[in-house]
Amino acid sequence: MDAGTASTLNAKVGSTASQATYDLKTVTEQLIKPGDSYVFANKWVINKNETPCDATDTMTVMFAQTDGNLVFDAVNVNVDGQTNVKTDNNIKLTSCWNLVDGQYNLRIENKTTGTLTAKQTEAAVNEIIEINNVSGKDDIEFKKGKWTLKKPVSDLAEGSIKYVNKDGKYYQYRESTITDQNFEKKVTYTYRDDDFTDTKFSNIGTGTATIHPGEEGQTWESILPKDATAARGKFTFAGWSYLLNGAEISETKEINFYDDGAHSLTVKPIWKGTYSYNVNAPADETVTVPKGGSEIVNTNIELPQLNDISGRYTFAGWLGSDNKIYQAGEPYRITEANVTFTAQWKAVPYDLKFVDEDGTVYSEGTADYNTQITWPSKPTKEGYTFRNWIVELDKNEWVKVEHGSKFPMRDQDITFIAQWFINSYKISYDGNGAAMGVPAETVEQNYQTDYTIDTVVPTKTGYTFQGWSDGTTTYQPGAVFKVPARDVVLTAQWKANSHQVKYDGNGGKTSAPESKSADYNSNVSVAAGLEKDGYLFDGWEQISTGKVLTPGASFVMPDMDETLKAKWKIAYTGIYEAGVYYLIQGQSYILGPGRKAQGDSSTYTANVTIYVPQSGYYTFE
């Protein structure tokens, strides 16, 4: 029995010399368990047969005569017969044991191309690694070089069953093998471009790549299709980027994962955009062009600094294709297939002044170098005509510049100084009606020079000369004045002579108007008429002309005193009605028929002519 333990078996009734049946129940009950986790497998290994037989309560032995010895020829355990020729009469039964459910003994043969390690046990090629009493829920980690493989015990336990003799008993083991193929990794790869929709792929799609543990130095690039290509407009294809399980890795990186998990590889095209620089140098300036290049799309380049052009231009950054200005040192993200950066220059400003010779400032400000200056309004100056500007460009080098001409700003402060022509003006005389004494000559004389007025005094009938007026000031003959900024006409100033207008009542009953003054050649209104008994007012006689003027009429005042004398006419020449009449001595009157003077007894039947002895009032009936 197990480990050389002997047990005597009693043949059951009915046994013969050639065949006997033995009871094994007692033997089974005497078995010693190798441990609490083991149970009897109901199997026996008979002698050295190594193949377990299912156990029953009886064992049948057949005997035969061989060389004069009685030996067993065969042993039948239950229905399984195993023939073992022996030269003695001993039968060895070795018990077989299984682990409790869910626990396994494993025998793993190394069929890889190198040393295999599991549970700190190494096995050379074709050697066995035994792992005892492990749970079916566990994983066994195998290592081969840098590679790691995890296999569930439950998978390893699906292999063939073998009972192995240890310590005088047979124990059940599950046998399996580990090969290089177990370490091969399957990676699902997908070519795509999540960033750009206009990418075109060729010979590309989704597939599976295999990683071989027996190959040294495998890279991601080496396991993928070699004819995969991509194109995108004018962008430059710069290779592929790799994302293993979403994390970016290098295409040349040696593959270094050895677990048995599922892996996905995303392969994306890498695009490069080219960039170049246009220094956009101002005319007649020399600027070194920075070197362009190419860079991966969506990565940054740092824009270079250009030196200022001393005294003329300062570098003001780069104009990108997006029409935005970027400063030197500022990162620029490449997003285009081709981009040209154009240097921007800012002209240096200098002070710009426009002044008069006397220092009066007409305009001041700044102007950028090499830009056409903006001219102010052409200056004016009383008594002068603008000539041109002068400007000092270099020390003591003065240049004449016409107003409004093209003048690019120099790299220095500029002051324009106005230059002038002095104006000359005409001086003439206007006698303003003078009869004589008016200078006939017209002269020209410069602005603000002294001019002496002619000493001759002009004359004009009816007027007294008051002087010569230039429109603002009246000068006397021989006076001196400064020539103004205009032509001067000296106009004779006259004051009309004043005379008396006198009234002569010529015997009128009412008083004659008082005398009054009137200027020569002015219109004089004639006063109202007067009254005189027996007369009617018949106007005013202008003595100087003999004209008779009615009240309210006017006459032009002569250059002398004027007398207006009242004129009278007889009020009436006939008396035909009764009444009181003023009759004038020496004047004849017609007395109508039937009329008579009061107190006169005579009555006349026809017209009669009468005279009165003296002037006075008379009553007629």
- Model confidence over 538-549: pLDDT tens digits? 999 999 999 999
Tell whether the model's pLDDT for residue 277 goes beyond 90.
Answer: yes
- 């020209």: which residue's tokens? 444
Per-residue burial over 376-386, b if 16 or more Cβ lie within 10 Å, else e, is: eeebebebbee
Q: What is the 3-state secondary structure (H, E, C) of 226-239?
A: CCCEEECCCCEEEE
Q: Are both 335 and 191 inside the same structural domain?
A: yes
Residue 249: pLDDT band by 50, 70, 90 thresholds? confident
Domain count, the chain: 7
Label residue 546 left, alpha or beta by phi (over 0 means left) and psi (-120 to 50 means alpha).
Answer: left
Question: Per-residue DSSP letters for 323-348?
Answer: S-EE-TT-EEE--SSEEEEEEEEEEP
Nearest to 503, CA basis, from 536, 535, 534, 549: 549
16 pLDDT tier (thresholds 50, 70, 90): confident
Q: Dihedral of the CA atoms 251, 257, 261, 265 (nearest 10)? A: 0
Residues 310, 393, single domain; the answer is no
Give CA 112 to chain center in angstroms.
68
pLDDT at 180 over 50: yes
Question: E-assigned strands of 124-205?
Answer: 128-135, 139-144, 147-152, 160-166, 169-179, 185-191, 200-202
CA proximity to 615, closest of 577, 578, 576, 589: 589
Tens digit of each residue's pLDDT (9 = 90 or more) over 155-169: 999 999 999 999 889
In this structure, the answer to whether residues 225 and 312 fall within a common structural domain is yes
Q: Residue 548: which CATH number? A: 2.60.40.4270
pLDDT reported for residue 595: 80
pLDDT of residue 174: 97
Note the pLDDT of residue 69.
57
User: Position 386: which residue type?
Assistant: F
Q: Same domain for 209 and 325?
A: yes
Residues 194 and 331 in one domain: yes
Tokens of 442: 């017209």
Q: Classify 25 as helix, strand or coil.
A: helix
pLDDT score recorded for residue 84: 46
d(CA 383, CA 251) in angstroms, rounded, equals 89
Query: On the CB side of 363, how many CA atoms lie within 13 Å of its CA?
Result: 15
Residue 528: partners with Cβ closer than 8 Å, 6 or more residues away: 513, 551, 552
* 3-class DSSP state of 190: strand
The reported pLDDT for the residue numbered 97 is 95
Dist CA 461 CA 436 (whole Å): 10
Across 262-266, 406-410, 610-614, least confident range:
262-266
Regarding whether 107 and 83 lie in a shared domain, the answer is no
- 342 in Cβ contact with 325 (< 8 Å): no
* Residue 222, helix vs strand vs coil: helix
For residue 252, is pLDDT > 70? no
- Choose the final residue of a domain: 159, 182, 205: 182
Q: What angle do CA 386, 387, 392 make, to 5 degrees?
A: 115
pLDDT of residue 497 exceeding 50: yes
Q: Identify the residue with better confidence: 48 or 38.
A: 38
The predicted structure's pLDDT at residue 251: 64
**More confident site: 59 or 140:** 140
DSSP E strands in 252-324: the ranges are 263-278, 293-296, 300-302, 313-319
DSSP code of residue 494:
E
The enclosing H or E element of 416 equals: strand 414-422
**378-429 pLDDT, tens per residue?**
999 999 999 999 999 988 889 999 999 999 999 999 999 999 999 999 999 9
Question: Which stretches of 480-592 are DSSP H helices?
Answer: none
Do 328 and 236 lie in one domain? The reply is yes
Q: Which of 611, 613, 571 is nearest to 591 (CA)?
A: 611
Share of the chain above pLDDT 70, in %: 92
Average pLDDT, whole number, for the chain?
89
Domain limits for position 150: 103-182
Do 373 and 352 form a contact (C-beta atoms < 8 A)? yes
Q: How confident is the model at residue 74 (pLDDT cuts 50, 70, 90)?
A: very low
Query: How confident is the model at residue 108, as a pLDDT?
Result: 97
- Residue 352 in tokens: 């710009």
For position 278, what pLDDT does the model report? 97
Residues with Cβ within 8 Å of residue 151, at least 6 apart in sequence: 139, 140, 142, 178, 182, 260
Per-residue pLDDT, 136: 95
Q: Measured between alpha carbons, how far apart are the two ends of the chain, in Å?
A: 216
Cα torsion 26, 30, 35, 36: sign? positive
Residues 481, 472: Cα–Cα separation, whole Å: 12
Nearest-5° Cα angle at 126, 123 to 130: 50
Q: Is the pLDDT score of 271 beyond 50?
A: yes
CA 182 to chain centre: 62
Asked if 59 and 19 sit in the same domain, the reply is yes
Decide which of 158, 182, 206 is a domain's last residue: 182
Statement to judge: residues 69 and 154 lie in one domain: no
CB of 353 within 8 A of CB of 390? no
Confidence grade of residue 77 (pLDDT, cut at 50, 70, 90)? very low
For tokens 């997003």, what's the residue? 335
Q: What is the pLDDT of residue 379?
A: 97
Average pLDDT over residues 257-271: 77
Q: Tally Cβ neighbours within 10 Å of residue 608.
A: 14
Q: Is 49 exposed, middle or buried (0-12, 13-18, 19+ CB in 10 A)?
A: middle
pLDDT band, residue 521 (cuts 50/70/90): very high
**pLDDT number for residue 67:** 60
Model confidence band, residue 330 (pLDDT cutoffs 50, 70, 90): very high
- pLDDT of amino acid 80: 39
CA distance 264 to 24: 61
Q: Between β-strands 516-519 and 498-504, what pairing exists: parallel, antiparallel or unpaired?
A: antiparallel
Are 281 and 323 contained in the same domain? yes
Among candidate residues 134, 165, 182, the one where a domain is terminated: 182
pLDDT greater than 60 at residue 72 = no
Count of Cβ atoms closer than 10 Å to residue 367 Cβ? 20
pLDDT grade for 78, boundaries at 50, 70 and 90: very low
The percent of residues above 90 in pLDDT, for the chain, comes to 63
Comparing 286-290, 343-347, 484-488, 572-576, which segment has the lowest mean pLDDT?
572-576
Residues 10-28, mean pLDDT to the nearest whole number: 77
Same domain, yes or no, for 332 and 462? no
Strands 169-179 and 147-152: unpaired
Angle at 100 between CA 97 and CA 101, to 5 degrees: 125
Which residue, among 460, 455, 461, has the nearest Cα to 475 in the 3D structure? Answer: 455
| 110 and 194 part of one domain | no
pLDDT value at 103 more than 60: yes
pLDDT at residue 66, rounded to an integer: 59
